A and B are shown apart, each in its own frame.
Chain A
Amino acid sequence: MNRLVGRGFQPITSLTKPDGTRWSVKEKLLLGLTPQDYMAVQMRNPFNWLLWLIYAIGLPVLVGRFIYGLGWATHGSYDYPWGLFLAWGLFTMVPLSASGFMMGTTVELFGRKDFKPIERLGLLNGLLGYLFAVMFLQVDLGQPWRLIYPMFVSLGPAAVLFLVAWHVATYLSCQVAELVPAYSEWMGLPKAKKAIKSIVLGLTVAGIILSTLHQGALGALFTYAPGKVHPLWYSSTFQWFLFLNSAIFAGLSMLIVVSTLSKWFLRWRCDDNFKQNLDQLTVGIAKGAALALITYLVLKIIAIAHDNKWEYLFTGWGQWYVFEIAVGVIVPLILYTRAVRNESASLARLSAFIAVFGIALNRLNTALITFNWKLYQEVPHWREVVIVITVYATYIVVYRAILARLPILYTWKERS
């Protein structure tokens, strides 16, 4: 597409064609190209070949999981009831999707309208991250068709997971509502946008409450396993806050990562408003991430001091812990700080990639690597890995498809 635009092709940015007639939905779905051109564009993209390869292997395995059961797709471990599906799909995807409530808060609640060009990307990143976290959950649940049981059939309101279920469900609807304006512009339904505009503050505050609690709740889930999670990754008092706190820089860093990828690979879809503001906004986001990181670092140390766990630092697990903190927290903290000082967006981008790696490492450590540290190390079954890659590939496909169409990276011409 970048090449087409280079040759003078104009992507859709309004309801009407240059000659005054309206775009049909089909034309909009095909990005304003003829079906032949659209197919040609898709075939030219080497990333799509990779996707085909992933699906060729992954889809049969994914189908197999539902035919032959979890015991076929995973090791079916009784000691490690949660494997990669949740460690990656839920515990890592959800903090990386905290950008939705962060951007909503910045723009709508604190009135920082200068972040507007990247707000919708933050919201979309949030929505899709949560949506696919639910997809991963559906792959992992023994009886996914009973997903709504905790809502309507049999309620266990004193359980942490009950809170997660309700909050993720309500927050998902909240995020859908927050993105209705983008959809309404694209479809030409100004009324829907107006309706959302009138309740946007309520939605934003609801987003903050729900995010505070369910990001924290994901951490609190591990407080059920005091003897199983390694003490360095465990804190009965602070676990929930550490998860919430790290979700803040995780979400912000992921937003920088996604905006960078969009800038590189979807350049044709970004308008000047987005492109010209992005560097400055990236530095602004870096500032927030740096603040969250320093808070997190201090709290991590306090958590160890609070339970007097210093001695564990001098074990093998302790070295692994120091590695996680050094690479996942201290390095991005220094890089972000320098990026803010020097107003260097590229340094902030580098830092964001490292911070995303760091948060993934932290969540995998808590849920899988240091879990059952007294027993043995579980290495996921290859089918489990294939399924994770397949679902994640779908996440990327959906993400890219929406970015290419809805006014996320560009501003719609008709502003109602």
Chain B
Amino acid sequence: MKKIDRRIFLKGGLAGGAALAATGTAATAKGAGTFNGYPNSMGVLVDLTKCVGCRTCEAACNKEQGLPAPDKPFNDTSVFDEVREGGQKRRTTEKAYTVVNRYDVEGREGGPVYRKFQCNHCQEPACLTSCFVNAYKKTPEGAVIYNPKVCVGCRTCMVACPFYVPAYAYSSATNPVVKKCIMCYDTRLKFGRPPACVEACPQEVMTFGKRTDLIKLGHERIKANPGKYVDHLYGETEVGGTSWMYLSDVPFEKVGFDTTLGNQPIISYVKDFLGMVPVVLTVWPALFTGFHLLANRKEAKKKEEENKG
């Protein structure tokens, strides 16, 4: 057996410690500890009160991402009357990374509410933390992007996403991949430009900026218009915070938002199990070998005596 030299051992320990110190602050968005997002990450603030349901953002997204032509043209507002299984409104699909839905809220002046919906780009994304091939990445700019080259197609990310965002290219037999909004990372965000939908909006529903600034802006807007908005910035704290955040003048649950998600990132619900794994791995071998020795003690003794006698 190779003897470990004490000095080498200490050196290794120091190097390891230094490496830990260097990377410790940049803990990734998985495993133990919480991750509160990259400091300069960007985001979008959506003001639902301004949206008129023109679907320009849907068209812009379709063009920017090179998605197939839609079943109905983007100026067709009959899509708002579409109903899926269980009375569900439209959702993101492999052909549409963003959709706008109409909500008729009783007693609201000024007609229905329109809500744009796409990937919220979580600070600590459930899709990322559940992916067993590390296909997802939260970029420092704030986007949650996806690498289709390594995706196996287990679709755990779709199960994990609390917002029901990722869609899957079920129609492809040879190269099905996950399809979701990437905040126009490749073509725009990387270069500091806002996503296509934000830029295309004629109503200036969306504000692109640093997430920390947007939080301030959102709260200022609530304060500046007393009684107008619900005093909550959806996405500021939900499931650990999201890069996309929303302002609304009607309760969020009435316009398709899930307000029961809590403020913990999804991975925090899995940590009870993840913490058990190393315990089982280290304790079980000794424990069960011990059981074996105890259970077979009589037999072992008998053998010993036989050998003597």
* In the assembled complex, B52 has its CB within 8 A of some CB on chain A: no
Give Cα A410 to B181, complex, Å: 59
Q: Is the CB of A212 within 8 A of B284?
A: yes
A residues in contact with B133, CB < 8 Å:
146, 149-150, 153-156
Q: Is the CB of A70 within 8 A of B176?
A: yes
Which of B11-19, B83-91, B110-118, B192-200 contacts its partner? B83-91
- CB under 8 Å from chain A, chain B span 239-289: 258, 260-262, 266, 269-270, 272-274, 276-277, 280-281, 284-285, 288-289
Q: Is the CB of B150 within 8 A of A209?
A: no
Minimum CB distance partner of B286 in chain A: A205
Give Cα A79 to B163, complex, Å: 10
Minimum CB distance partner of A137 in chain B: B154
Interface size class on chain A is: 35 or more
* In the assembled complex, B50 has its CB within 8 A of some CB on chain A: no
Give Cα A239 to B174, complex, Å: 35
Known: A110-B295, A160-B274, A221-B156. A227 touches B258 (CB 8 A): yes
A223 to chain B, nearest CB (A): 5
* In the assembled complex, B126 has its CB within 8 A of some CB on chain A: yes
A307 to chain B, nearest CB (A): 11
**Residue among A66, A146, A159 facing the most chain B CB atoms (10 A cut-off):** A159
Q: Is the CB of A143 within 8 A of B292?
A: no
A358 to chain B, nearest CB (A): 23
* In the assembled complex, B151 has its CB within 8 A of some CB on chain A: yes
Minimum CB distance partner of A72 in chain B: B173
* In the assembled complex, A261 has its CB within 8 A of some CB on chain B: no
A residues in contact with B270, CB < 8 Å:
160, 220, 223-224, 236
Minimum CB distance partner of B260 in chain A: A227
A residues in contact with B272, CB < 8 Å:
223, 236-237, 240
Main secondary structure of the interface of A (DSSP, over half): helix
* In the assembled complex, A109 has its CB within 8 A of some CB on chain B: yes
Minimum CB distance partner of B150 in chain A: A154
B residues in contact with A228, CB < 8 Å:
159
A161's partner among B130, B169, B281, B295 (CB-CB below 8 A) is B130
* In the assembled complex, A81 has its CB within 8 A of some CB on chain B: yes
A residues in contact with B126, CB < 8 Å:
224
A residues in contact with B25, CB < 8 Å:
none
* In the assembled complex, A142 has its CB within 8 A of some CB on chain B: yes
Minimum CB distance partner of A240 in chain B: B273
Minimum CB distance partner of A217 in chain B: B273
* In the assembled complex, A201 has its CB within 8 A of some CB on chain B: yes
Known: A150-B132, A153-B150. A160 touches B273 (CB 8 A): yes
Query: Chain B, 289-300, contact with A by CB distance < 8 Å: what is the 0/1 string?
Result: 101100110010
B154's partner among A66, A141, A217 (CB-CB below 8 A) is A141
* In the assembled complex, A225 has its CB within 8 A of some CB on chain B: yes
Q: Is the CB of A111 within 8 A of B170?
A: no
A residues in contact with B261, CB < 8 Å:
227
- CB under 8 Å from chain A, chain B span 136-170: 147, 150-156, 158-160, 162, 164, 166-170
* In the assembled complex, A82 has its CB within 8 A of some CB on chain B: yes
Give Cα A111 to B303, complex, Å: 14
Known: A68-B173, A110-B295, A225-B160. A376 touches B130 (CB 8 A): no
Q: Is the CB of A159 within 8 A of B131?
A: yes
The 4 A-B pairs with the shortest beta carbon distances in the complex, nearest first, are A142-B153, A376-B86, A76-B170, A71-B170
What would be 8 A-B contacts, judged by CB atoms less than 8 Å apart? A67-B173, A69-B170, A70-B170, A142-B155, A150-B132, A154-B150, A208-B284, A224-B156
